[in-house]
Amino acid sequence: MSSKTARPILHSAAWRISLWATLAFACGTMLVFAFLHRFVAGDIQRRSDAWLSGEVEVLGDVAERTPKDALHDRVVGEVAELAGKEVPNRDPSANSSNDSVFFLQTGGNGSLTLWVGAGSGEPYLKAIQATRIIPHRPADIHVQGLAIPFRVASIQIDDGSYIYLGLSERDELRVLRNLGQRFFLFWLLLVLFGFGIVFITTWRMLTHVREIAEAASRIGHSDLNARVPTTKGNDEVSHLALTLNRMLDRIESSIHQLHTITDSLAHDLRSPLTAIRGKLEMSLSAVTQVEHAEPIVSAIEELDRLTDFLNKSLDVAEAKADALRLNRVPVDLDELLRIMIDLYEPSMSEKGLQIRLKSGGPLRIEADEALIHRMIANLFDNELKHLPAACTVNIQLKAENKGASLILEDDGPGFDPQVLPHLFERRVKGKESSGHGLGLAFVDAVARAHGGAVSAGNRDCGGAQIAVTLPLAALDQGSAAIHSAHGGQAIFRRGIP
Amino acid sequence: MHYDPLMRLLLVEDEIDIQRFLRTSLEEAGYQVEAAGDGKTAEQLAVDGQFDILIVDLGLPDQDGISLILKLRQLGLRAPVLILSARRSVDDRVRGLEQGGDDYLTKPFALAELLARLRNLLKRNSPSGAEATRLQVLDLELDLLRREATRSGQLLQLTTQEFVLLEYLCRNAGRVVTRSMILDKVWGMRIQPDTNVVDVHIYRLRGKVDGQGQKPLIRTLRGVGYVLKDR
């Protein structure tokens, strides 16, 4: 996986899938935790309400039974204070001063008769009076000056006075806050963990898909024997790999069939051609008079043209089916072009043509040497055959993003506009052309077999232009950069000796 | 055009037509030829007779030509092999044999090329003395060290490429060389241009070598190739 981490993770499908999956997971778990929190809060409330109701009942009982003498208030006060020590959810670390509970008794007229609790009872009474509290049903009151509300239960005793027992919700809120924090932490961990698991799983699966894609793109350009990697599992991805491999099996067998057909066709035609050529040569050596030799000579020449046509047709057919067998070796296009120009220059100057090369220096590609030679010879033959006298052929070779670009331009009449759209098809040639119409189809076939492309057209200022691009050798991309960086273009021009 | 009357050659080719014309041409060129139409006969002949060189066609009726060559090599055959192939693309195994000192030729071929390749194979396999530094054909002299050519003592103004071409013709003086042989040996490419590129080079060279009033040395054999006359 290490080689692929260079590709930004944020752009990977695994990242997107994990983000969406995690979002859904986070929302779901958030709902569950919220529900749990509510449930626990309700339970705590119920428990404290039950305690309040029970205690207020006891206090009411005590207040009722205690005779209304001087000791009444004190007895009730003591009992109330005792009750305050048994507060549920009490923070054990809190100091002993008890301000979380109050006891309040009002007379029949609503005045404060007894107060047990921290500070003055008046604000509490006011808050109680502001909130209408129904006996036996605890309710919240908000005392002025205190942030935390009190839960208050009340009871009416026989003498018409009311007893109120209040419990601060501080402890309850603290418990709930703690719980909320823990729930949040737990939720966060769960979400992160879920994200991790989803991301790793999809990343691994998609890495496998990427490996399949990479292997599949390699296949066809280099070799058909290779297969995409398969896994042991029985999931969609391994199914995809298996399907691809089965498809490759079928393609390989079709290509193999094509090879067999072209090979046997070549063999079936070549053997008689060899025999005919041999016989012609033998009869030529026996001929003494020049006029008798002429038909034999032209027969041999026709035969050689037929052989060339056969070779090119089969190459074009195989290249169209992506089945051209390449034997890649390093080829220096710059050197090759100079040799070709050296070879073609005399014929061209004989015809009154000039040829110029503009090249940035050595440019090596990995290619099938014989095919590249024949491809460039085809391009040169094409110029030589179709250009009228006094024209110039400009050849430009340069490296451009991971490819070699070879451009041939001339100032001749250009391509016949009728032929132009079909230039790379077999058997297409201009009206005055004497060739067999395979030249450019062959150039196109070779370029495509190497993973390159050819384009042809007429220049605005007149003349034809053919541009061939060929991918550089994978190993040589560094030197390609140097090639284009230097850019100092030496103009190579051969004069007439 | 006799080369060496003692050279024994084994021709393994199943096509009767090709076998017949090759046998005639090879005998004419001075080889003592034994022919076999299939791998089995070839094996027997190769074991019994001492051959200097073999011509093996890849498509034999009973076995693959390459398997035959490998088998013969295992049996101790030392002689070089010229492989004839009707396949366009060269097999990796052929390439292996080529590296081992053998050569191949695709059908159809020019007889001159076949003979030239046979000569090369024999030359490669026979230990020869130091490479000559001078070549002489009649009154044409080539100094290979100084890269200079003279005709009847007159220095010829040749370009580098013209010198290489003339050297190749001289080395094969008296023998036919084809256009594709010249392209292969002088320019290093196996192409078949359908234009007159090689002819123009020869024409220019002839203009410099065969001056006015001199006996023309470079002869064109139409449909076959060129020959530098040595007598």
CB contact B1 to A (< 8 Å): no
- B-chain residues near A273 (CB < 8 A): 107-108
Residue A50, domain member (yes or no): yes
Q: Which band of pLDDT confidence, cut at 50, 70 and 90, is reported for residue A347?
A: very high
- A-chain residues near B65 (CB < 8 A): none
Query: Contact B191/A277, CB-based, under 8 Å?
Result: no
**Residue after which a domain boundary falls, among A320, A342, A361:** A320
Query: Contact B21/A293, CB-based, under 8 Å?
Result: no
CB contact A325 to B (< 8 Å): yes
**A contact test, residue of B55, B194, B201, B219 with most A CBs within 10 A:** B194
**B contact test, residue of A264, A267, A268, A271 with most B CBs within 10 A:** A271
Give B155: exposed, middle or buried? Use CB within 10 Å, 0-12, 13-18, 19+.
exposed
Q: Which residues contact A283 (CB under 8 A, 6 or more apart)?
A: A296
pLDDT 10s digits, B129-160: 556 788 889 899 999 999 999 998 899 999 99
Q: Which band of pLDDT confidence, cut at 50, 70 and 90, is reported for residue A436?
A: low
Residue A182, domain member (yes or no): no
The answer to whether B212 and B219 have CB atoms below 8 angstroms apart is no
* Joined tokens for residue A447: 């370029």
**Three-class SS of residue B171?**
helix
pTM above 0.90, yes or no: no
> Domain check: are A246 and A168 in the same one?
no
Instruction: Write down the residue that tokens 């220019």 correspond to.
Output: B204
CA A35 – CA A469 distance, rounded (Å) = 66
Burial per residue of B29-65, b for 16 or more beta-carbon CB atoms within 10 angstroms, e otherwise: bebebbbbbebeebbebbeeeebbbbbbbbbbeeeeb
Distance of residue A377 Cα from the nearest chain B Cα, in angstroms: 6
Chain A nearest-CA residue for B25: A282
The whole-number pLDDT of residue B88 equals 66
> Domain check: are A468 and A360 in the same one?
yes
The whole-number pLDDT of residue A467 equals 93
The answer for A 288-307 residues in CB contact with B (under 8 A) is: 293-294, 296-301, 303-305, 307
Sheet holding B140-143, edge to edge: B134-137, B140-143, B148-151, B154-155
> Domain check: are A281 and A351 in the same one?
no
Nearest to A278 among B111, B200, B201 (CB): B111
Chain B nearest-CA residue for A386: B195
pLDDT 10s digits, A178-232: 989 999 999 999 999 999 999 998 888 888 888 888 877 776 655 677 787 777 7
| CATH-assigned architecture of domain B134-228 | Orthogonal Bundle (1.10)
Q: Which residue has the higher pLDDT, A38 or A129?
A: A38
- B-chain residues near A329 (CB < 8 A): none
Query: Contact A279/B107, CB-based, under 8 Å?
Result: no
**Residues in a beta bridge with B34:** B10
Residue A219, domain member (yes or no): no
**Residue after which a domain boundary falls, among A302, A320, A338:** A320
> Once rounded to an integer, what is the mean pLDDT over residues A315-327?
75
The CATH code for residues B8-125 is 3.40.50.2300
CB contact B187 to A (< 8 Å): yes
> Domain check: are A132 and A58 in the same one?
yes
> Domain check: are A134 and A245 in the same one?
no
The answer for A 427-446 residues in CB contact with B (under 8 A) is: 435
- A-chain residues near B222 (CB < 8 A): 293-294, 297
Task: Provide the residue range defining the domain that includes A102.
Answer: 13-175
* Joined tokens for residue B53: 């060189």
- A-chain residues near B25 (CB < 8 A): 278, 281-282
pLDDT 10s digits, B89-98: 666 677 777 7
Distance of residue B90 Cα from the nearest chain A Cα, in angstroms: 9
pLDDT 10s digits, A18-40: 889 999 999 999 999 999 999 99
CB contact B188 to A (< 8 Å): yes
The whole-number pLDDT of residue A338 equals 94
Q: Does residue A261 register a pLDDT over 70?
A: yes
> Once rounded to an integer, what is the mean pLDDT over residues A373-395?
91
Distance of CA A41 to the CA centre of its chain: 46
**Residues in a beta bridge with B142:** B135, B149
CA B87 – CA B217 distance, rounded (Å) = 37
> Domain check: are A43 and A158 in the same one?
yes
> Domain check: are A428 and A342 in the same one?
yes
For chain A, how many structural domains are there in total?
Answer: 3
Query: Contact A277/B109, CB-based, under 8 Å?
Result: yes
The answer to whether A374 and A446 have CB atoms below 8 angstroms apart is yes
pLDDT 10s digits, A293-304: 888 888 888 888
**Three-class SS of residue A437?**
coil
Number of H helices, E strands in chain B: 8, 12
The whole-number pLDDT of residue B10 equals 94
Q: Does residue A478 register a pLDDT over 80?
A: no
| CATH 3.40.50.2300 intervals, chain B | 8-125
Q: Which band of pLDDT confidence, cut at 50, 70 and 90, is reported for residue A425?
A: confident
Burial per residue of A249-281, b for 16 or more beta-carbon CB atoms within 10 angstroms, e otherwise: eebbeebeeebeebbeebbebbbebbbbbbbbb
> Domain check: are A18 and A158 in the same one?
yes
> Domain check: are A414 and A346 in the same one?
yes
**Residue after which a domain boundary falls, among A320, A345, A374:** A320
| CATH 1.10.10.10 intervals, chain B | 134-228
Residue A387, domain member (yes or no): yes
The whole-number pLDDT of residue B221 equals 83
Distance of residue B86 Cα from the nearest chain A Cα, in angstroms: 5
Q: Does residue A237 register a pLDDT over 70?
A: yes
Residue A405, domain member (yes or no): yes
Write down the mean pLDDT value for chain A. Answer: 81
As a whole-number percent, the residues of chain A with pLDDT over 70 amount to 87
Residue A17, domain member (yes or no): yes
The whole-number pLDDT of residue A7 equals 58
> Domain check: are A114 and A263 in the same one?
no
Nearest to A342 among B25, B161, B224 (CB): B161
CB contact A414 to B (< 8 Å): no
Query: Contact B107/A270, CB-based, under 8 Å?
Result: yes
Nearest to B107 among A273, A301, A346 (CB): A273
The answer to whether A305 and A381 have CB atoms below 8 angstroms apart is no
Nearest to A381 among B15, B110, B195 (CB): B195
Distance of CA B168 to the CA centre of its chain: 12
pLDDT 10s digits, B67-85: 899 899 888 888 899 999 8
CA A364 – CA A475 distance, rounded (Å) = 10
Sheet holding A403-410, edge to edge: A453-458, A464-471, A403-410, A392-400, A354-359, A490-493
Parallel, antiparallel, or unpaired for β B176-177 and B225-228? antiparallel
Nearest to A273 among B95, B108, B188 (CB): B108
CB contact B109 to A (< 8 Å): yes
Query: First-to-last CA distance in chain B?
Result: 12
Query: Contact A343/B197, CB-based, under 8 Å?
Result: yes
> How many residue pairs from chains A and B have C-beta atoms closer than 8 A?
122
Write down the mean pLDDT value for chain B. Answer: 86
Residue A47, domain member (yes or no): yes
> Domain check: are A98 and A142 in the same one?
yes
> Domain check: are A48 and A146 in the same one?
yes
Query: Contact B86/A270, CB-based, under 8 Å?
Result: yes
Residue A433, domain member (yes or no): yes
